[in-house]
Amino acid sequence: MQSTLLNAIQQRYACHEFSAGQSVSADELAWLQESGCLAPSAFGLEPWRFITVTDAAGKSAIARACFDQPTATTAAAFIVIVALVDSLNPDSDYVRERFEAEARGLNCAHIYEAYRAHYRADTIAAWAQGQCNFAAAHMLLQATHMGLGSCPIGGFSSGALTKTLAIPPGELPALVIALGHCSYAAPKRLRKPLA
């Protein structure tokens, strides 16, 4: 039905406080990750990986890295989206594998040519983090569709998150998605009018 996705888009809002005692199931986390991995990415590079955190100690550490914002301290679960940066070097095995898959068995020389012309080592980290936002948008809408509350969190210490999650050099935390059941009713959506 044409209106179904728009319903989820209209119903999604950033939840700033989640209810205590309501968890997010392993199945729900798996569906959210699947919705993220089906997001579009430039050159089909999917420059992300997802880390789920549901244990109490892990959640506290993530919340601390998010400066103990209420949306983080009350979350039932997190999905941290990590940007793959060094993997995006045009000469990496990662890029070769992605391009071979993207070309579906055909010659991928033209994709390489376009990517080499596009690639810039000094801006690739920001570019990879930008790609991660597409995966995040998919997850946020999927969460709404499943009746979960969510909040994208960009307010975190990159260093603290990297340390907590043992994110290796060459990768960067892009966004934290806080998940749970929202403790309050949906607020009125505020948006500037369409021009």
| Residues near ligand FMN, by CB under 6 A | 13-14, 16, 69, 71, 151-155, 189
Question: Least CB distance from residue 109 to ligand FMN, whole Å?
Answer: 36
Question: Least CB distance from residue 132 to ligand FMN, whole Å?
Answer: 10
Nearer to ligand FMN, 45 or 174 (CB): 174
Question: Least CB distance from residue 8 to ligand FMN, whole Å?
Answer: 13
Q: What 3 state SS string does the chain have?
A: CCCHHHHHHHHCCECCCECCCCCCCHHHHHHHHHHHHCCCCHHHCCCEEEEEECCHHHHHHHHHHCCCCHHHHCCCEEEEEEEECHHHCCCCHHHHHHHHHHCCCCCCHHHHHHHHHHCCCCCHHHHHHHHHHHHHHHHHHHHHHCCCEEEEECCCCHHHHHHHCCCCCCEEEEEEEEEECECCCCCCCCCCCCC
Nearer to ligand FMN, 40 or 155 (CB): 155
Nearer to ligand FMN, 101 or 184 (CB): 184
Nearer to ligand FMN, 143 or 153 (CB): 153
Question: Least CB distance from residue 188 to ligand FMN, whole Å?
Answer: 10
